[in-house]
Structure 1
Amino acid sequence: MSKLSGVIRTVVIIAILISSISCDQITKSIVRSQVSSDEQISMFNNSVTLMRVENSGAFLSLGHALPSLVKQAILILIPVLVLLAGIYFVFNRKDIQSTTLIGICFVLGGGIGNIYDRIIYGSVTDFLHINFGLFETGIFNLADVSIMVGIFIVIFDTYRTKTLVESN
């Protein structure tokens, strides 16, 4: 895929960011208002469970027991700085391939959704758990899905681009 340019590029960036953040925040808002903290809703033959967990740490609750000032620096300040740098990067680097740009925007949108929760609520609302026997996840939210989709897209595009360059 080639590089996007001008207004179309800006519209794509903003559309992905807004879509990712909106889907995440809408689903979290529904869960906060409709699912109690001790409730578990099983779906699809118990393969998917909807529950509400407030995660005050990072991925898989890492850092939840850190002292408050350290936790704020590690879980709020550093991620905000990284997200701001990422936003600057996608708007100012015109040489990013379109697919990679889309992947980075998904990562940024998910990161913004989770950091918003952490700043506003003091924790991130997670609510989905998947268990397909051999494959089981931790509890996650749609921001996490956006981040993982974005990482997959960037890795895929990097591999695809490397393969194309090597074959020429």
Structure 2
Amino acid sequence: MNRNLFITLLIIFNIAIDQISKIVVRNTLEPRRTIDVIGEYFQLIWVENKGAFLGMGSDMNPTLKLIFLLILPTVVLGYVIYHIVKTKELDRLSLIAFCCIIGGGIANVFDRIVYGQVTDFFFIDLGGVFKTGIFNVADLSVTTGILMLLFTGIFNNDKNKELNTEA
């Protein structure tokens, strides 16, 4: 498959699953009502986030919000798109990771432009072991992409160390 087509389709897929999930949430859930999916461990809670991660920045003045929640993320996403299109040496897993990050980022920026806020609805609480804030599919895409990049970075670093010690 053409590399640029692969990149485009993967980014669109990430945006689409996020936006479809948000449409379903807005049309079927009631705001702030908790629905237990797996007991109290995994719940659906529809909230609208006017800030960034975990609501940070929701009380910023409108100019700072515009800069830090719309303009800066758009510039960074544009640069990352440019980087992955121009850098042909990226391994497949890193390319997929960057596409997940870009797709999730675009989906949340889209929400901020169209709705002035981001729809969040997943909540995980594993009883003191692990607890999240309320998040969405785009956040999951970004987080998955970052974890994949960390994995490939560690794996490639270990591989490079092996090659250097053999030389």
TM-score (norm 2): 0.93
Counterpart of 2:74 in structure 1 is 80
Counterpart of 2:21 in structure 1 is 27
Distance in 1 between the 2:5 and 2:14 partners?
14
Q: 1:117 aligns with which of 79, 103, 111?
A: 111
Counterpart of 2:83 in structure 1 is 89
Runs of 4+ in 1 over 2 A off after TM superposition: none
In structure 1, stretches of 5+ residues that fail to align are: 1-6
Matched, 1:10 2:4: yes
For 2:93, give the aligned amino acid: T
For 1:115, give the aligned amino acid: V
- Sequence identity, in percent? 36
Counterpart of 1:166 in structure 2 is 161
For 2:106, give the aligned amino acid: I
Q: 1:157 aligns with which of 152, 157, 161?
A: 152
Matched, 1:38 2:37: no
For 1:116, give the aligned amino acid: F
Deviation at 1:99, TM superposition (A): 1.4
Counterpart of 1:48 in structure 2 is 42
For 1:105, give the aligned amino acid: C
TM-score (norm 1): 0.92
In structure 2, stretches of 5+ residues that fail to align are: none
Structure 1 stretch 82-91 or stretch 112-121: which is displaced more?
82-91
Q: 2:132 aligns with which of 116, 134, 137?
A: 137
Measured on the aligned residues, the alpha-carbon RMSD in Å equals 1.1
Deviation at 1:64, TM superposition (A): 0.5
For 1:158, give the aligned amino acid: G
Counterpart of 1:147 in structure 2 is 142
Number of aligned residue pairs: give it: 162
